[in-house]
């Protein structure tokens, strides 16, 4: 069993009427020896869950900031196995769930069974594989299920109602609701139809729904978070860590009292 359960985190947040704030960082950006400090800084800032990206030479969903972070990590010689080894070494220092975000190739190269075992030893709570379709997830999901590690699925803006219901009916951990048609990266804003879309997903999903891609400010996090169970912020946090501005991350995280007001404004 994973050290920290994603479900437990969402249950605690729900009891306090709060939403999840998930921070994406690139493992090994700045060197793997810095990973423990980075995660502790995020936890201190108020982050609920850390999404830990694995550097990959041919990403399909990553925007410029995360691509640059991946190149920096690859230049440091960072691999999936090295990340899991470092996580296992520092897991006693971590007080929030860690989710691995990788593409399929690094997992296949390591071996899905071995990957699941090492992820379990590292205390990993969930895995996101953005290039693995729902219909082909069994090769990865079955080994993860042995260790009760959540296999987290995506829903996009173009997903039909039938597809959304199919994907969310047996979802684990949380559902990753993509907020844009395109790659990750800072956006100026979102179309108002997004909030209705997120609400529809949340209504049918058997797991919490978190919105990600393009969210970079507190205002954006508040508005998207009001329509679902939480938000995922990546590029902005990757840049702040790279620039040595970790102290600014807390300024992105929504405040509970504000979220209530935003929810009322959107749905009244």
Model confidence pLDDT, tens digit, residues 131-178: 999 999 999 999 999 999 999 999 998 899 999 999 999 999 999 999
**Burial per residue of 50-76, b for 16 or more beta-carbon CB atoms within 10 angstroms, e otherwise:** bbbbbbbeebebbbebbbbbbebbbeb
Please say whether the beta carbons of 201 and 207 come within 8 A. no
Q: Tokens standing for 23?
A: 């921070």
Q: Which stretch, 102-111, 181-190, 259-268, has highest mean pLDDT?
A: 102-111
CA distance 30 to 193: 38
At residue 86, the pLDDT reads: 98
| Per-residue confidence (pLDDT) for residue 63, from 0 to 100 | 76
Q: Which residue has the tokens 């007001």?
A: 261
Q: Which of 18, 34, 43, 62 is catalytic?
A: 62
Residue 118 CA to residue 157 CA, distance in Å, equals 33
**Lowest-pLDDT choice from 92-96, 120-124, 180-184, 228-232:** 180-184
6-263 CATH, one of 3.20.20.70, 3.40.50.2300, 3.40.50.720, 3.90.1150.10:
3.20.20.70
Per-residue confidence band for 263, with pLDDT thresholds at 50, 70 and 90: very low
Residue 88 predicted with pLDDT over 70:
yes
Find out whether 223 and 194 touch, Cβ atoms under 8 Å: no
Residue 240 DSSP class? H
Phi and psi based region of residue 148 (left: phi greater than 0; alpha: psi -120 to 50; beta: remaining):
left
159: left (phi over 0), alpha (psi -120 to 50) or beta: beta
Report domain extents, the chain. Answer: 6-263
Query: Can you tell me whether residue 35 is helix, strand or coil?
Result: helix
Q: What is the mean pLDDT of residues 2-22?
A: 91
| Cα pseudo-dihedral 183, 109, 159, 138, rounded to 10 | -160
Please pick, among 18, 29, 51, 229, the residue that the annotation labels catalytic. Answer: 51
Written as one string, the DSSP assignment of 160-198 is -HHHHHHHHHT--S-EEEE-SSS-SS--S---THHHHHH
Is 222 noted as a catalytic residue in this protein?
no
Nearest to 104 by CA among 65, 175, 54: 54
Give mean pLDDT, residues 182-189. 50
Give the C-alpha separation, 69 to 111, whole Å.
25
Chain length of the chain: 268
**pLDDT value for 268:** 44
Residue 62 known to be catalytic: yes
Find where tokens 């994973």 sit: 2
> pLDDT band at 255, cuts 50/70/90?
confident
CA–CA dist 171, 7 (Å, integer)? 12
């Amino acid at each position: 069993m994973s050290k920290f359960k994603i479900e437990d985190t969402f249950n605690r947040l729900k009891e306090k009427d709060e939403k999840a704030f998930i921070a994406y960082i690139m493992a090994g950006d700045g060197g793997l020896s810095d990973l423990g400090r980075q995660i502790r800084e995020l936890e201190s800032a108020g982050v609920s869950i850390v999404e830990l990206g694995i550097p990959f030479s041919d990403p399909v969903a990553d925007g410029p900031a995360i691509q640059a972070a991946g190149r920096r990590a690859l230049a440091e010689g960072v691999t999936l196995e090295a990340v899991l080894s470092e996580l296992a070494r520092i897991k006693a220092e971590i007080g929030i769930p860690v989710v691995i975000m990788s593409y399929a190739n690094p997992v296949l190269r390591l071996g899905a069974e071995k990957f699941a075992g090492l992820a379990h030893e590292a205390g990993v709570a969930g895995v996101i594989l953005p290039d693995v379709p729902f219909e082909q997830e069994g090769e990865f999901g079955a080994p993860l299920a042995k260790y009760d590690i959540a296999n987290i699925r995506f829903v996009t803006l173009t997903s039909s109602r039938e597809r959304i219901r199919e994907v969310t009916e047996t979802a684990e951990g949380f559902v990753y609701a993509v907020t844009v048609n395109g790659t990750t990266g800072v956006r100026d804003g979102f179309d108002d139809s997004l909030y209705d879309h997120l609400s529809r997903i949340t209504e049918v999903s058997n797991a919490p729904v978190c919105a990600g891609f393009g969210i970079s400010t507190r205002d954006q996090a508040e508005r998207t978070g009001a329509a679902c169970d939480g938000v995922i912020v990546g590029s902005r946090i990757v840049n702040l860590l790279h620039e040595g501005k970790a102290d600014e991350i807390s300024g992105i995280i929504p405040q509970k009292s504000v979220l209530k007001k935003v929810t009322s404004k959107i749905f009244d």
